[in-house]
Amino acid sequence: MAELISAVAGERLAADPEVLTAAARVLLREKFLQADMGITGANFAVADTGTIVLVTNEGNGRMVTSLPRIHVAVMGLEKVVPSMTDLMVFLAILARSATGQKLSSYTTLVRGPRQPGELDGPEELHLVLMDGGRSRQIAGPLREALYCLRCGACLNVCPVYRQIGGHAYGHTYPGPIGILLTAMLKGNEAVKDLAHASSLCGACKDVCPVRIDIPRMLVELREKLDEERIAPASERFVFGALRRLLSSPAAYALSAKLGRLLQRPFVRDGKLSRLPLFFGKWTATRDLPPVAGKTFRERWKELR
Ligand code: SF4
């Protein structure tokens, strides 16, 4: 970080957070003062007063909305709440679920451009309401995902997100809710792998302040991928075969015997390696335990 900011500042700065913050303030303030247009998102918009609401912890939102001549706010249409009374509820649950605060450090309410006699504010204010597939989902299976406040609580508790981090998702919105939002905005094809990046432990649903049932929708999304034949043919074949196998006790017992026989050439050091065909993709990067010498049923019979 020190190197990055030093390069922009044109002088060697110490790797001290306070020094770097002070330098960033000086450098950025100049940019804000010179900018013709400031573009922000919006956390909410209040229908009965026409107020746009920005929630930040850094204060940069206030610089963008007040210094440039024009302010453009871009917002998904699901962010509209009916009244100020509703807004108060959402502001409280957003801050509490995102950072554990009672209220974010900066909650900015914008009611329009600068009025005569006012010192701050833009000359023009434009609000862009984005649909981007949202209205198509109002009666669709992912409807509940539109309730999302983007507090990020489900990301922090997700065991998958905590291991792989946000960039691994490859889209704007990461984490369990991100998979659903990506499917909604970009189509099911975009999440054909991500739909499986969940253990379905339910931690996301438990922590969500608006109780979005993410695990249920992820299971439905997987079903949809199968119905729409978006999942690769090999994957559909394997899961189809597994379904038939697991629903027939006789077929299951036979498969265990066959598996023990067929795996012999591939068992090395107590694990399966270098499997043929598409199974090889699995063993190329991961360990796969061999089929046990005896099934539970066989051992149970012996014990009794
Ligand atoms: S799904 Fe719920 S927990 Fe996750 S970001 Fe949205 S509101 Fe927060």
| Pocket lining: 154 vs ligand 1, CB cutoff 6 Å | yes
How many other β-carbons are positioned within 10 Å of the β-carbon of residue 236? 14
| Pocket lining: 212 vs ligand 1, CB cutoff 6 Å | yes
Please, which residues have CB within 8 angstroms of residue 155's CB and are 6 or more apart in sequence?
A: 161, 166, 174, 175, 176, 177, 178
How many other β-carbons are positioned within 10 Å of the β-carbon of residue 285? 6
- Whole-number Å distance, alpha carbon 156 to ligand 1 midpoint, is 10
Instruction: Note the pLDDT of residue 229.
Output: 87
Instruction: Note the pLDDT of residue 297.
Output: 85
Please, which residues have CB within 8 angstroms of residue 277's CB and are 6 or more apart in sequence?
A: none
Instruction: Note the pLDDT of residue 280.
Output: 84
Among left, alpha and beta (phi > 0; psi -120 to 50; other), residue 133 is left
Instruction: Note the pLDDT of residue 88.
Output: 96
Q: End-to-end distance of the chain based on CA atoms, in angstroms?
A: 66
Q: If the chain, 304 residues long, is cut into consecutive pieces of 10 residues, what is the mean pLDDT of each piece?
A: 89 91 90 94 96 92 93 96 97 95 94 92 95 88 94 96 94 95 92 93 96 96 89 82 90 89 89 84 84 88 89
| Pocket lining: 203 vs ligand 1, CB cutoff 6 Å | no
Instruction: Note the pLDDT of residue 283.
Output: 84
| Pocket lining: 153 vs ligand 1, CB cutoff 6 Å | yes
Please, are residues 96 and 83 in contact by the beta-carbon 8 Å criterion?
A: no
User: Cα 166–167–170 angle (5° rounding)?
Assistant: 110
Adjacent-strand bridge partners of 128: 74
Closest CA to 67 of 97, 17, 30: 30
3-state class (DSSP) for residue 78: helix
